[in-house]
Amino acid sequence: SNQATTMPSKEFWNHTSDPATCATCDKKLCAKEEVIVPLVSAFLVRIVSENDQRMANGLEDTVITSYHASVNPDIDLNDYIERIHSFSGASPCTYLVSMIYLDRALRKIPGFLVSSFTVHRLFLTCIMLASKFLDDVYFSNLHWSRVGGLKLKELNALEIETLFVLNFNMTVSPLEYSQYRTALLSCSVNGSLPDPLVPFREKQEDPSHLQLCAGIAA
């Protein structure tokens, strides 16, 4: 269904006693990747801000998808990602992998913008899928729905839809991971958007403009 839906009110986000944290990976191995979480958050905040401004200036989504909310969720994006980080138990590396899934999804949905209307649902679904694929221990969809503020039925539907959008391709090679990591770090340092991160900001109608990066097939 392409029907846009709402998300919970501010009172919901202030409730943090239900979800509980858990360790899902070897913290020694993942410790160096903790830096990825705030970088992903900052990057998404920046892209959403830029796209919201473009929409305010007249640029419109050409599609309405299941990722669209009818109103902006009543929670700051940084706080939303921090909530996921605090209560999902997802390992740090899943945050970068979720960005790779996001990028792959954007390449399959022409005209889609990552905006304040779409980012929460899309990111939640991608980080949940990344955790299921990478982490030895992960929470149920019910827990993820409580953390992310969606009804279980909605999250289940988004999960299936995203898997089909991604053609069930969940594998990320070490080279691909490294290249996205380098691009994200570069973006945080110099403020540019090098490949493979450009599609987050700009709608590209020509598939030839959507290559991941040199040496990797789309």
Tens of pLDDT, residue by residue over 126-174, are 999 999 999 888 899 999 999 999 999 999 999 999 999 999 999 999 9
Query: Is the model more confident about 23 or about 181?
Result: 181
Segment (H or E) for 208: none
Residue 29, pLDDT score: 45
Please state whether the predicted TM-score (pTM) of the whole model is above 0.85.
no
Q: What is the pLDDT of residue 32?
A: 63
Query: What is the predicted pLDDT for the residue at 25?
Result: 39
Say what the pLDDT of residue 31 is: 52
pLDDT at 208 over 90: no
Q: What is the pLDDT of residues 51-94, one digit of tens each?
A: 888 888 887 766 788 999 888 788 899 999 999 999 998 988 89
**Residue 116 to residue 143: CA distance in whole angstroms:** 23
Residue 114 in contact with residue 44, Cβ under 8 Å? yes
Quote the pLDDT of residue 64: 84
Cβ atoms of residues 188 and 51 within 8 Å: no
Crossing angle for the helix pair 152-165 and 93-108, to the nearest 10 degrees? 70
What is the CA angle 197-136-152, rounded to 5? 75
As a whole number of angstroms, the distance between CA 90 and CA 78 comes to 16
pLDDT band at 44 (very low <50, low <70, confident <90, very high): very high
